[in-house]
Amino acid sequence: MITDVDEALCVLLGRSLPAGTMVRLDPPRPTWETERPSNAIDLFLYGLRDDQSGRESGWDETRDARGTVLARRDPVRRCVLSYLVTARAPKINEEHLLLGIALRTMIFTDQLPPDCMPETLSGLGQPVLIRVAESDPGTLWSNLGMPARAAFAITVSAPFVPTADTDLAKPAEKIRLESGQNVAQPRGPLAPAEPKRWVRTP
């Protein structure tokens, strides 16, 4: 799932950026300060967590035309992926231009379009949600031991779909109901009287 989201984000950004701009998944490196930069947007995956708000409940069942359950799977789970988005270019104003285009793209994309996603992700039939994070990435730069740069963070909520269980018991073809009790003859005053017998004595 992670590599599928990586690929989809690269396709989404690549469509809006100027020709010749690369979209990379490289983490920030101290050598950036001495490297000759090229036009690029870098997506750095720095966080993964369970998305409690996106949890589903109940079973998802697949049935045939007769209503027989063919497969059953656990509810879908979701994971939040956090990315740091930075720009690299020979000049600062060029970096800001690229970063602005990337920010605009993310702000106006609530969920990944199906044609941006690989089949393994789009085929799940579940939305992949994008949001520009409210957190300030300045602390992240400090933790990486690097000078702060212009950047923003995004969060992506992607589905984890469990494998369906098809090893199910076959449905019953016939049902036979038995009470398991024998009908007792009535006793007591309401019981029918036995017929009288007359015996002739000599």
Which range marks the domain in which residue 47 is found? 2-56+67-160
Inside any domain, residue 32: yes
Asked whether the predicted pLDDT for residue 53 surpasses 80, the reply is no
Backbone Cα Rg of the chain: 34
Distances (CA, A) of 21 to 10, 11, 89: 11, 12, 9
Inside any domain, residue 89: yes
Q: What is the pLDDT of residue 141?
A: 78
pLDDT, tens only, 127-179: 999 999 987 787 787 777 777 788 999 999 998 876 655 555 565 556 666 66
Inside any domain, residue 175: no
Inside any domain, residue 166: no
Provide the CATH number for the domain around residue 148. Answer: 3.30.2000.10
pLDDT, tens only, 73-125: 667 788 999 999 999 999 999 999 999 999 999 999 999 999 999 998 888 88
> What pTM was estimated for this model as a whole?
0.71
Inside any domain, residue 197: no
Asked whether the predicted pLDDT for residue 182 surpasses 90, the reply is no
The conformational region for residue 98 under phi > 0 = left, psi -120 to 50 = alpha, else beta, is: alpha
Inside any domain, residue 61: no
pLDDT, tens only, 98-109: 999 999 999 999
Number of domains in the chain: 1
Phi and psi dihedrals of 81, rounded to 5?
-105, 130
Alpha helices for 44-174 (secondary structure H):
92-107, 119-122, 138-144
